[in-house]
Every structure is written in structure tokens, then in C-alpha cells.
Structure 1
């Protein structure tokens, strides 16, 4: 009788160890799967934030070049013949917009003012159009390096990322990715996957680009 009890006790002990081992194994598998899923979401967020920051930087470059083009036009012979300088109109439009929209940021006031003035002047002013066209060409040359540095600094993949200047809605579109690699945590039966997690971000609408005929230019970094 004693030997029977001892045998049953050993069997119960072995069963307990077996159940705990299975439980630990399943818990490890679940942890690994959840860990990899969370990493995918993190990488998507990194790629999205990187693309958004890059698109905002590209917009800043475009409006800086637009302002410089306006100044160059105002300093030109064509501009001197016009007593009402374009930059003066931009400044007055800024004042109007600040008053009308006190909640807008300084950059939004500036961007909208440039858009409004250029939309009303460019269609009938070939000389101004020429200066702006050169400004956009300069922006296109400058944007790849700036965007690439931002993507790289934020952990996104620089090589192969694409900047579209502009999409059908006159926005800057940045498509980038983050390299994802799954973890196996020592579980040999799980595959190690490596892929590029892609995300795309779009900038604010650059309204004056409508009258420039400048759209759909894809820049691959």
C-alpha cells in the first residue's frame, strides 16, 4: 500500500511539473508574439512621425524659397516698375490674417498670406511666375538632403524613401519606412522575419502651387 501511495505521489508530482512546463512554454510563446506585435506598432509610429516631420520641413523650405523669389522679383526691373511691391502685399495680408485668426500660429499666418497673394498675382504676371519657378527648382534641390537627415535622425530608413512634390491636392508627400526584425527569444520554431514597415505623411496644402504647374515630381532618396 505504501509503495502504491508513493507511486501515485510521484505521478502527481511529475504531472505538476509537466503542466507548469507547458504553462511556462505557452506563456513564453504568447509573450514573444505580443512583444513582436508591439514592436511593429512602435516602428509604424516611428516611421509616421519621421515622415510627418520631414514633410513639415519640406514645406518650410518651399515657403522660404517662395519668399526669396518674391524679394528677387521686387528687386528686379519688372518689380521696380510696379510701385506696389509683392512683399508689401504679403506683409499686409499677414496683418489681416493675424487679426482675423488670432489662434493661428505665426507659420500658418505666413503660409496663408503667401498663398493668397501669389494666387492673385501669378496668373497675370509671367515675370513673377519665372522667379517662383526658379524658387521651386531650388527647393526641389534642397529638400532631399534636409528630408534625408530628418528621417535618418529619427530612426527611419533614408535610402529608398520618396518625396512627392506635389500630390493631386498640392501637398508634400513623404513615404518612408523603418526596418523591423522579429524576436524569437530562443524559440527555434519561430521564424525571424525582417521587413520594412512603411508609412506615408502629407503636409499642409500649398495652395500657390496650383498656378505653378508643378506637380507629381517624385524624388527618391
Structure 2
């Protein structure tokens, strides 16, 4: 499977979670969660049953009939996470999925992600500009150079014990050591980006 092209046509191996909600405003939470399964050929009633199970797993029991505009930002993000995970993908691609949330909701969602991940430990590629978030969630952090021609410039193994709790792990000595090491590399790229944007 290594090296197989996964981006031809409809990708059944990966699921995506973006910064902006991808929920359809005219569908309920459970319909939104079920829609990917339906696109993949799962019968509607079976897909809705899976969606209801995922509503429970992400803490949205009783909210399945709500439309996106009736849910808070955190609830919509939980529904989006359930939408991605319901497909049972091999890899989950996340592009700053929690950046628009307030800090308390963000920590709750990070903990939620870690808990859900612990069940089957799928591969997750998580893009973030938040160094603390990167260290707290990851087994490995890859630092990219400043754009526009960005490239990997450093890699760090994150040897923090699991399970992790967001607010607690960030107070440990090892977390602070890793933060310092990575920031030593990242600082220069941040300054380059800042200088480039001032031109």
C-alpha cells in the first residue's frame, strides 16, 4: 500500500477536517454525518444509524435533528469530526480544525480528538500554527520553512506519555523542553515570514 496514489477520484482512504465548517446548512447534524457514507454507497438508513452512534461518541446525543445554525461553534466542530470519523478512514487530514474556537472549547476539542484517536489510533496529519497544540497532540512534529516555497526543515519526536490531558501535559518539564527546542528552530522562520509580509 505504501506509495499507492490515494488522490485519484473519490478518496476512500482519507477524511478531511478543515478550519471552516464543511457542514451543509440545509441538513441536520445526523444527516451531515451520514452524507459521506451515503456518497460511498451505504444505504441511507444504515448511514443514519452510524451517524447516530457517532453523535453519541462525540457528545452530541440529543442534537442530531439540529441544523448547523442551531449549534454552537464547538458543536459544529464535533459534528464535523464525527462526519470525518464515520467514514472509518485510514488517514485523517486536519487543517487547523480548531483555530476558530475559543480557547476553552479548543482544549475540549483537542482532548476529544485524543480520546477518539486512542480507540483505533488512525494516522492523523494535523496542520497548525500553534506550537503548544502541535506538541500536545503529536507523536512527531515537522517544522516547515517560511513560504512561499515552504519545505520541511526539522523533525522532532514527541516522547510525552499517553494518555494526555491538554491543560496538564503543558505544565510538565518535558513539554517545556520540547517547546524550547522546537521554538529555537521555528523562531527564525516566524521572523522571515514577518519580514516578508512587511514588504
TM-score of Structure 1 vs Structure 2, range by shorter chain: under 0.3
User: Which is higher, the Rg of structure 1 or of structure 2?
Assistant: 1
Counting helix residues as a fraction of each chain, which structure ranks higher?
1
TM-score, normalization by structure 2: 0.26
TM-score, normalization by structure 1: 0.24
Q: Which has the higher contact order (CA 8 A, sep 6+)?
A: 1
